[in-house]
């Protein structure tokens, strides 16, 4: 998924982003698997009920596909004593996903008027997925961070920061963050990859199981298609 490139003496990752046509070509099994709330599911899994960094008013924002949820519970059981997962966002309706994509595209267009449409589209896809390949809309993708002793730990950036040049510190593999932050990212990765989750590499906080990006990484069909909010019970 990575090709290391040198830009002005700084190493960056050229990644397979969600605008890549190979992601759309991943087959989907579309399993009829129910969504479950993550509230109270395990003592080491907390929900950021403030929603202070997201624009999602859905009552199902912390609902997840059942198999993915069970995998997250198993990961939570392996956390060191006093540590917890803090969920920021899971489910996002297709309509909300489309709005997020369009809003961020317009922001990029305003900030980088010299870029062509194709370049703006690719830039937007670093941070917001097109709805047809969006993991959050399937209930299989999750944004989360780590807590220790009741406080969020240093992950190198704040949650939902933009992948800004030249360091691109939101990139999971960024090597200019502190050793403490890098260690926290490694812990997050170890726990989640052991349970089958994959990371979207421009966002250290974004992990998924069963969506199209997961299927591309694992070279297998995806499990979950986008689900409309009125289908969640």
Between CA 134 and CA 65 the distance in angstroms is 14
3-class secondary-structure state, position 43: coil
Radius of gyration of the chain, Cα coordinates, nearest whole angstrom = 17
Closest to 137 in 3D by CA, of 100, 87, 108, 103: 100
DSSP letter for each residue of 165-218: TTT-TTSTT-SSS-HHHHHHHHHHHHHHHTTT-EE-TT-TTEEESSSHHHHHHH
162 CB burial (10 A radius; 0-12, 13-18, 19+): middle
Residue 13 scores a pLDDT above 50 = no
Cα atoms in the 13 Å half-sphere on the side-chain side of 216:
22
- C-alpha 58 chain-centroid distance: 18
- What does the pLDDT read at residue 139? 97
Predicted TM-score of the model (pTM) = 0.88
- On average, the pLDDT of the chain sits at 91
Q: Are 106 and 73 in contact (CB under 8 A)?
A: no
Q: Are 71 and 196 in contact (CB under 8 A)?
A: yes
Between CA 216 and CA 233 the distance in angstroms is 29
Residue 114 scores a pLDDT above 70 = yes
Tens digit of each residue's pLDDT (9 = 90 or more) over 170-193:
999 999 999 999 999 999 999 999
- What does the pLDDT read at residue 10? 39
Q: Which residues contact 214 (CB under 8 A, 6 or more apart)?
A: 135, 140, 197, 198, 208, 222, 223
Between CA 213 and CA 125 the distance in angstroms is 12
Between CA 195 and CA 218 the distance in angstroms is 13
Q: Which of 58-72, 126-140, 193-207 has the lowest mean pLDDT?
A: 126-140
């Amino acid at each position: 998924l990575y090709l290391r490139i040198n830009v002005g003496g700084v190493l960056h990752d050229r990644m397979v982003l969600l605008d890549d046509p190979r992601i759309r070509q991943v087959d989907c099994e579309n399993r009829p698997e129910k969504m479950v709330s993550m509230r109270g599911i395990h003592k080491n899994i907390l929900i950021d009920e403030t929603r202070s960094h997201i624009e999602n008013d859905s009552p199902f924002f912390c609902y997840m596909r059942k198999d993915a949820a069970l995998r997250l519970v198993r990961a939570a059981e392996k956390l060191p004593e006093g540590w917890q997962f803090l969920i920021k966002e899971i489910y996002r309706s297709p309509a909300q996903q489309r709005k997020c994509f369009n809003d961020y595209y317009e922001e990029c267009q305003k900030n980088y008027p010299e870029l062509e449409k194709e370049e703006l589209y690719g830039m937007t896809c670093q941070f917001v997925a097109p709805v047809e390949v969006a993991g959050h809309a399937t209930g299989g993708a999750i944004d989360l961070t780590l807590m220790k002793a009741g406080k969020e730990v240093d992950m190198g950036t704040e949650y939902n920061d933009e992948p800004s040049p030249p360091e691109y510190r939101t990139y999971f593999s960024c090597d200019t963050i502190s050793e403490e932050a890098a260690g926290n990212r490694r812990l997050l990765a170890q726990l989640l990859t052991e349970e089958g989750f994959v990371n979207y590499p421009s966002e250290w906080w974004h992990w998924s199981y069963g969506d199209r990006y997961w299927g591309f990484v694992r070279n297998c069909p995806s499990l979950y298609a986008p689900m409309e909010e009125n289908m969640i019970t």
